[in-house]
Chain A
Amino acid sequence: MKKLAVNKSTGKKISGMMIAGLALFATQASAGTLDDVKARGHINCGVSEGVPGFSNPNSDGVWSGLDVDMCRAVSAAIFGESDKIKFVPLASKQKILAVVTGQVDLTSRTTTWTMKRDTKEGVDFTTIVFYDGQGFMTRKDLGVSSAKELDGATVCVTSGTTTELNLADFARANNLNFEPVVFEGKKEAVNAYRSGRCDALTTDNSQLASFRTTMPDPSAHVVLPEVISKEPLSPLVKHGDNQWKDLVTWTINGLITAEELGVTQKNVSNLAEAQRNNPTVQRMLGASGEYGSYIGLENNWMVNAISAVGNYGEIFDRNLGKDSPLNLPRGTNALWQDGGLMYVAPLR
């Protein structure tokens, strides 16, 4: 049975290469993403072209950010090392297609989980890593205190995103008239706003906060209080590969659970010893049960992931929160026990 499948796919591969006339450059892929990834030796991870705090390359080309750390955690869970990744910067238009066409194994790129994307566009979302909402930033000297006062304003927005659609919905619902200036990339939109082309810039609030820090005088800009949409951001994978989806989902769930349990990058290596009578910790760190094998990995997968990037709280603080220049409050992204929305299914 298996042999047959291999033959069929090999045959197709060969004829496909001939058709393409690019046999030299074609790489091979087969049914299971995890098998492909293991065979290839690295993950292809789709990220943004540069959003500080989420995914951003420094001047040496080293990527960092919350979205980037999610990929690193997956890499560590699979390979035991957090750098077996090829980061692929994606424009917002490509972020879905790239995962659908197999160009990347997962997209971790501030992507909003919506019904249409989940059901109609051939992708599956994994687990929510950030609860965001769309807002507006304007210049302080305009004297605007609410987004509803922006009637007639020129608004810079990025194309191919839910942002663009939310803006239209908000305008319609509140009978406002915006004059949108639509750009291909976030950087162009921010640039245009910075130079004064637009009165307001709209995108997710977390990103507004990060863009505000890049303004020549951050205090001259203000993020308006309205949050006009729900933006649950989640990494996404190709629809139909359940094993791979489970792997990504539970690695990230594990990071959040780790924060609940107080497992940190520092103490992870000896915590399994120290907390012998905490069954949840024992399960997660692979000291009891075979949880790693459920998703096709070694049982110490979470130890690897956490020692590579830390738990969710540490990731947040390092990239977006109090240890970062953005200094975002945890707010809705705090754990459920601290009054936030971070609540994941139990790891058992």
Chain B
Amino acid sequence: MLKTTSERLGGLFSYSNLLSCFYQTLTAGIVIACAYYLLLATQENLEARHIESGFSFLTQEAGFPIGDSLISYSPSDSYGRALLVGIINTFVAAILCIFLATIVGIVMGVAQVSGNPLIARMAEVYVEVMRNIPVLLILLFVYGVVLVGLPSVKQAIEFIPDGFLSQRGIFVPRPIAGDNFIYLMLSLGLGIIGTVFFLKWAKKTLDATGKSYPTIWISLALVIIPPVITQAVFNDVLTWEAPELKGFNFKGGWVFRPEFAALVFGLVLYRGAFIAENVRSGIVSVQKGQREAATALGLSSDRTMRDVVLPQALRTVIPSTTNDYASLVKDSSLAIAIGFPDMVSIGGTMIGQNGQAIEVIAIWMGVYLCINLIISLLMNIANNKFQLVER
């Protein structure tokens, strides 16, 4: 529309071009002047406050302890490594939350349009309650409930054999690779390759003859059975390290600390409701005729859902869910409120120690922007795939 103006003006085209050039230079000048002024003010401030600048602090000794760490870390390690611990924690929490929230979202979304009015109402209540409460409140509440509701470590509940639940977290046995572990990996690899071939073959048969197989179950069997056989036939393949109550706490095994568990649970509860709403509106947006046609062709109701409705719903679900994934990752920064050492919480400690706020905040921004880019990239790929299916 703006272009048409200049086109209509015809003769004045070069004049308006010149004018726009002038305006652009002017605005650029103003922006640069402001930036320069801010830079000066900042430098003056930093000097007045004896705050260093630059990233050299990342190699200094951190000195503070961190509770949850997936890589080895001790207080004598550097600030850089401490921050890396936080970044890894953020990534792990984000990935786990995205995975679980997707499952919750799909289940609750489908339940909302279920033919069973009881289930539909229950799912609706869940969605409407969770969507209208601040996520921080949910996190604090969940963490509070976790702390008060769980038994003390001495009275831990054994919820599965050698798996314990207490105020200190969820402890489960940890797999340890033995000498013959390589066979397990080989059999698993073979199983996966077999599954891929089977799926290709099944699709071909389906397209050619219309004969369908219970692909999910057969694939699962193909992936699971070979490793199980390997475990039975060879010895020293995989052993389990069971957590054991020693002194103050459980030793060994894998542990999910209450802070981490509360963070994941709270975020999944909250964001799952949003994804459920996306899924519901996606399903509703699929034309009624599609469903009726599928039923008329004799497809069962769950196959109608799986093969006809959901793939089409995904076209509207994916873009809005991309936003929700991004929000979920950003929400993980609320870990700070319940004591889980994510990137923001560890960075905050570093700011408190050396005052280098600008650098730390720049790192935060960089990492979040990276995560967001990764998410939108992956979701774009998924989106393109489903757009192609639509033709």
Contacts and interface: CB of A to CB of B under 8 A. Distances in A.
B3 interface: no
12 contacts: A94-B352, A97-B355, A100-B355, A150-B248, A151-B247, A152-B248, A181-B259, A182-B64, A182-B66, A182-B349, A188-B339, A195-B147
B246 interface: yes
Contacts of A94: 352
Interface in A139-157: 142, 150-154, 157
A92 B48 contact: no
Contacts of B51: 100, 121-122
B345 A159 contact: yes
A344 to B, nearest CB: 27
Given A159-B349, A239-B50, A164 B65 contact: yes
B258 A182 contact: no
Given A101-B49, A172-B76, A152 B147 contact: no
A323 interface: no
B65 A167 contact: yes
Interface string A183-195: 1100010001001
Interface in A7-59: 15-16, 19
A192 B143 CA distance: 10
Contacts, number: 119
A329 interface: no
Residue among B49, B257, B345, B348 having the largest count of chain A Cβ atoms under 10 Å: B49
B336 A184 contact: yes
B64 A154 contact: no
A151 B249 CA distance: 10
Contact of B34 (A19, A122, A153, A169): A19
A195 B246 CA distance: 21
Given A192-B147, A195-B148, A180 B67 contact: yes
A132 B65 CA distance: 22
Contact of A164 (B64, B251, B258): B64
A165 interface: yes
Contacts of A169: 63, 75
A160 B357 CA distance: 13
Size category of the binding interface on chain A: 35 or more
Contact of B249 (A120, A165, A179): A179
A282 to B, nearest CB: 40
B75 A172 contact: yes
Nearest to B351: A93
5 closest residue pairs by CB, A with B: A160-B352, A168-B75, A93-B352, A122-B49, A122-B50
A68 B333 CA distance: 34
A179 B246 CA distance: 14
B249 to A, nearest CB: 6
Given A120-B50, A153-B248, A178 B65 contact: yes
Contact of B167 (A152, A172, A197, A239): A197
Interface in B13-41: 34, 37-38, 41
B37 A15 contact: yes
Interface in A292-343: none
A231 interface: no
A10 to B, nearest CB: 16
Contacts of B167: 195-197
Interface string B220-250: 0000000000000000000000000011110
A252 interface: no
A244 B309 CA distance: 73
Given A122-B51, A168-B64, A168-B75, A182 B248 contact: no
A96 B65 CA distance: 21
Contacts of A178: 65
A180 B336 contact: no
A167 to B, nearest CB: 6
B65 A180 contact: yes
B205 interface: no
Size category of the binding interface on chain B: 35 or more
Interface in A217-268: 239-240
A90 to B, nearest CB: 11
Given A154-B248, A179-B67, A160 B50 contact: no
A105 interface: no
Contacts of A199: 248-249
A171 interface: yes
A15 B148 CA distance: 54
A172 B76 CA distance: 9
A69 B156 CA distance: 47
A15 B40 CA distance: 13
Nearest to A92: B352
A197 B63 contact: no
Given A120-B50, A122-B48, A152-B251, A182 B339 contact: yes
Contacts of B75: 165, 168-169, 171-172
A232 B344 CA distance: 30
A152 B247 contact: yes
Interface in A107-159: 119-122, 142, 150-154, 157, 159
Given A154-B168, A164-B64, A183-B339, A197 B246 contact: no
Residue among B34, B65, B167, B353 having the largest count of chain A Cβ atoms under 10 Å: B65
A135 B148 CA distance: 26
Interface string B333-353: 000110101000100110111
A184 B348 CA distance: 9
B114 interface: no
A326 to B, nearest CB: 26
B215 interface: no
B63 A152 contact: no
Given A165-B75, A167-B65, A197-B168, 14 more contacts: A94-B352, A121-B49, A142-B248, A165-B63, A168-B63, A169-B63, A171-B75, A172-B74, A172-B75, A172-B76, A183-B339, A184-B345, A188-B339, A239-B49
B387 interface: no
B327 interface: no
Contacts of A182: 64-67, 339, 341, 345, 349
A153 B75 CA distance: 17
Residue among A119, A151, A195 having the largest count of chain B Cβ atoms under 10 Å: A195
A19 B147 contact: no
A98 B352 CA distance: 11
B65 A19 contact: no
A164 B257 CA distance: 19
B66 A160 contact: no
B290 interface: no
A213 to B, nearest CB: 21
Contacts of B148: 195
Contacts of A152: 246-249, 251
Contacts of B339: 181-184, 188, 192
